[in-house]
Structure formats: C-alpha cells, structure tokens
Amino acid sequence: MTHRFDSPTVILTGAGCRREAGSLLAAMKARRTLLVADPFFASGPFTREIAAALDGAGIQHEVYSGFQPDPTEENVRAGAACFREFQADSILALGGGSGIDVAKMVGVSVANPGPLREFQGYHRVPNRGPSVVVVPTTAGTGSEATKVAVITDTERRVKMMILDPGLMPAAAIVDYELTLSMPPPLTAHVGVDTLTHGIEAFVSRRANPLTDPIALASIDRVQRYLRRAWADPEDREAREGMALAALEGGLAFTNSSVCLVHGMSRPLGLAFGLPHGLSNAVLLPAVTRFSREGAVARYAGVARAMGLASPGNGDAYASEALVDRLDALNEELEVPRLRDCCGGDRERFRSTLEKMAADALDSGSPQNNPTVPAADEIMELYDSAW
Ligand SMILES: NC(=O)c1ccc[n+]([C@@H]2O[C@H](COP(=O)([O-])OP(=O)(O)OC[C@H]3O[C@@H](n4cnc5c(N)ncnc54)[C@H](O)[C@@H]3O)[C@@H](O)[C@H]2O)c1
Ligand SMILES: [Fe+2]
C-alpha cells in the first residue's frame, strides 16, 4: 500500500509569527491580497497589525468579513465577488475553521466555474486557485494544515465536505497569541474537536506510518493542555500547546482521514444548529464506545498516549479507560449533553435520525472507521448519545 503526505509548504509557529505574514506573501509575489478576516477580529488590533505588515511589504489589501460560523455557499460567493472586484491575486485568512474554509473555497471559486456542490467529495477540483496563507485563531480544526473545507449547501441542507490537494494552504502561520481571547466554552468545543482529529486519524483504516506519530503527539498535547487553557484563558504555555495540537491534528487527519464521529457530527450540527466542535464533542464518547471493539489495540494506544494506562495494562483495560476518560473530560469541560443541545424533544430528535444517518454515510467518513456501521446502527448510536 502506498501513502501520500500533504502539508503547507511553510509552517511558522511561535508568539508573534503573525507579523511575518507580509514578507511571506511578498515572497510568493503577492501584490493584492484579499484578507478574509473573522468578524470577531475584523476591526480589531490583530487585523490592523496584519494590515500594517502587508503595507510594509508593499501589498495592497481589502478585508472581507461577511461570513458566519459554519459557513455557507452564499458566504463563499460573496467573498469570491469581493476577490474579483478588488482584482486580488492572493488570499490571507485570519480566523477559525470557518474563515479558513471560506478563504480556501473563495480560491477554488475564482479558478473554477460552477456551484460548489460540483466539488463535493474527493479530488473533484479541476484548477488550482490563488495562493492561500492562513492564520488560525481557534486551536481546533487544524484547517490551516488540511486539504479540506466544509461548507453548507443551504438549498439541499447538507454540510459538504470538499477534499482536494489544491485546498492545502501554501503557508500556515500558527501564532497562539491569537487564541488567548477564546472564552472557556469555545476553548472546550474546539479543543475536543482537536482531540477527535487525533483519535480518528490514529484509529482510521487509512492511518499510516507518517500520520501515527503526529496523531499521538496531538493527543498527548491535548491531554496536557486543554484543561489548563479552559480553566485559565491567559495560560500562554497551555494556549501554545493547544495551537500546536490543533496543527498536528490537522496534519494527521488530512493524511489519513476522519471517521465516524465527524461523519455523524456534520448532519447533527446542521440539523440542530450546533457549532462543529460541540457536535463532535457530544458524540465522541458514545462513538468511541461503539468503535472500540474494531481496533482495541489502536484505542489502547490512544489511552497510553494520554497516560491513562501503562504498557503493562492490557489493551482491553486501556481502551475502556479511554472511553471513561472521554466521558469525564466532557463533564469537566462542562460540555452539555446532546439532549440539552437539541431542545430536549426526543421524538423530534428521533424523527431526524434517518436523514442524518443517510447523510453521515454519504459523506464517506464512516467508511474509514474501525467498525463500519449500517444506517440503522448509526441511528441507534445517535439515540444512545442522547
Ligand atoms: N477544513 C477543515 O479541515 C476542517 C476541519 C474541522 C472543522 N472544519 C470546519 O470549521 C468550522 C468551525 O471552525 P472553528 O471551530 O475553528 O470555529 P469558527 O471559525 O466557526 O469560530 C467560532 C466562533 O468563534 C469566534 N472566534 C474565532 N476565533 C476567536 C478567538 N480567538 N477569540 C474569540 N472568538 C473567536 C468566531 O467569531 C465564531 O463566532 C466548521 O465549519 C467546521 O465544519 C473544517
Ligand atoms: Fe473537526
């Protein structure tokens, strides 16, 4: 079996590295950059600082912030119109997974005609777009180092996953100082998303020798730093640890894959308006309990990376300790239960299960899971997470 490993050409890390955005883009011959900035940052000091760095490098820029969390096709269309009007030649994203994914798909849209649904799935983007440089502001999705974008098709009510090597950012600028402003609930949700990336990358049927150590490093860092970053937003060491964990999580899963948690979380998030991190977090313990049997040794490896079991403990013990830990982690981080996120109406919830299970399977992600469930098993799993 052969494997392929994609990553950004350049990855900068460390406090203050955001200030190098201008020189990095100038080295790519950028002259006019569309700055896709998350609304939270759009008129704040970080955006002004980055704008100054672009000015310093002689790069003209225009800001686009007209998008929402868990962005839609309309958000991308408006960004692409902005890109064309400004006659940009490059894109700089400053935001969480939402801003980064909008930036990636604006790049795709200006280089490829047609609605975004034509690119849904694997390797369906014909032409490469302009260079995209990204500065993540949440320590979560790892989108700064993935060849993936997730965009909602509001007409068909589907969260489309678009995966293509052309979506890999040219450069990732991972400056943890941008994450210091995240409040504890956001820190928790995006942090459990990172943990899910590490675990799914490691247990995936497409895990491989290069992704394994990166996935385990990410898991180890989450175990050490997530609770600290949640308890004290100003804990710089913990914020740096989580920013690196998110980057590693992205590098790992984009070169193996995500699995059942992500497959189930996209339809759930869409149906009940849950942000991506939260919809993963509420499913992670139940799905891990279900999947454990299919790859006991792998889940035990995750448990050992988290220090939950020693090499002397058997795999069955270790993998069970992991499931217990995931339950406890959600509780410690005050992640709500699924029933509390979905309005508490179980009958209404049950009426959505058939479509959600079909959409989960359609995405392709569950097929990478150690145990591949049938649609009725997915419906039961949703119900068991309630
Ligand atoms: N492309 C990928 O590889 C990939 C992987 C996983 C998830 N995703 C997608 O990423 C999106 C979720 O991204 P996310 O979880 O990073 O959140 P996000 O980008 O949606 O941001 C969530 C909220 O936090 C705010 N915010 C962002 N940074 C902040 C900061 N530093 N301080 C305070 N507030 C801040 C935003 O304004 C927004 O309101 C979803 O659409 C999901 O499907 C993409
Ligand atoms: Fe995710």
Do 291 and 340 reside in the same domain of the chain? yes
Q: Can you give the residue range of the structural domain that contains 15?
A: 10-178
- DSSP run (H or E) holding 133: strand 131-136
Do 357 and 217 reside in the same domain of the chain? yes
Pocket test of ligand 1: the residue of 98, 104, 150 to mutate, having most ligand atoms within 8 Å of its CB, is: 98
Distance between CA atoms of residues 165 and 171, nearest Å: 14
Tell the residue nearest (CA) to atom 37 of ligand 1.
40
- What CATH number is given to the structural domain containing 364? 1.20.1090.10
Angle at 213 (CA atoms; ends 287, 190), nearest 5 degrees:
50
Counting ligands in written order, which one lies closest to the CA of residue 242?
Answer: 1
Distance between CA atoms of residues 178 and 188, nearest Å: 16
Domain edge (last residue) among 178, 199, 229: 178
CB-ligand 1 contact for 223 (6 Å cutoff): no
Q: Is residue 267 part of a domain?
A: yes
Are the C-beta atoms of residues 314 and 321 closer than 8 Å to each other?
A: no
Do 26 and 133 reside in the same domain of the chain? yes
- Atom index in ligand 1 nearest the CA of residue 151 equals 41
Do 140 and 54 reside in the same domain of the chain? yes
Do 171 and 188 reside in the same domain of the chain? no
Q: Is residue 201 part of a domain?
A: yes
Pocket test of ligand 1: the residue of 6, 40, 236, 264 to mutate, having most ligand atoms within 8 Å of its CB, is: 40
Residue 379 in tokens: 């419906």
pLDDT tens for the 386 residues of the chain, in order: 899 999 999 999 999 999 999 999 999 999 999 999 999 999 899 999 999 999 999 999 999 999 999 999 999 999 999 999 999 999 999 999 999 999 999 999 999 998 999 999 999 999 999 999 999 999 999 999 999 999 999 999 899 999 999 999 999 999 999 999 999 999 999 999 999 999 999 999 999 999 999 999 999 999 999 999 999 999 999 999 999 999 999 999 999 999 999 999 999 999 999 999 999 999 999 999 999 999 999 999 999 999 999 888 999 999 999 999 999 999 999 999 999 998 888 999 999 999 999 999 999 999 999 999 999 999 999 999 99
Checking DSSP bridges between strand 158-163 and strand 148-153, what pairing results, if any? antiparallel
Give residues with Cβ within 8 angstroms of 265, minimum separation 6: 276, 279, 280, 283
- What CATH number is given to the structural domain containing 139? 3.40.50.1970
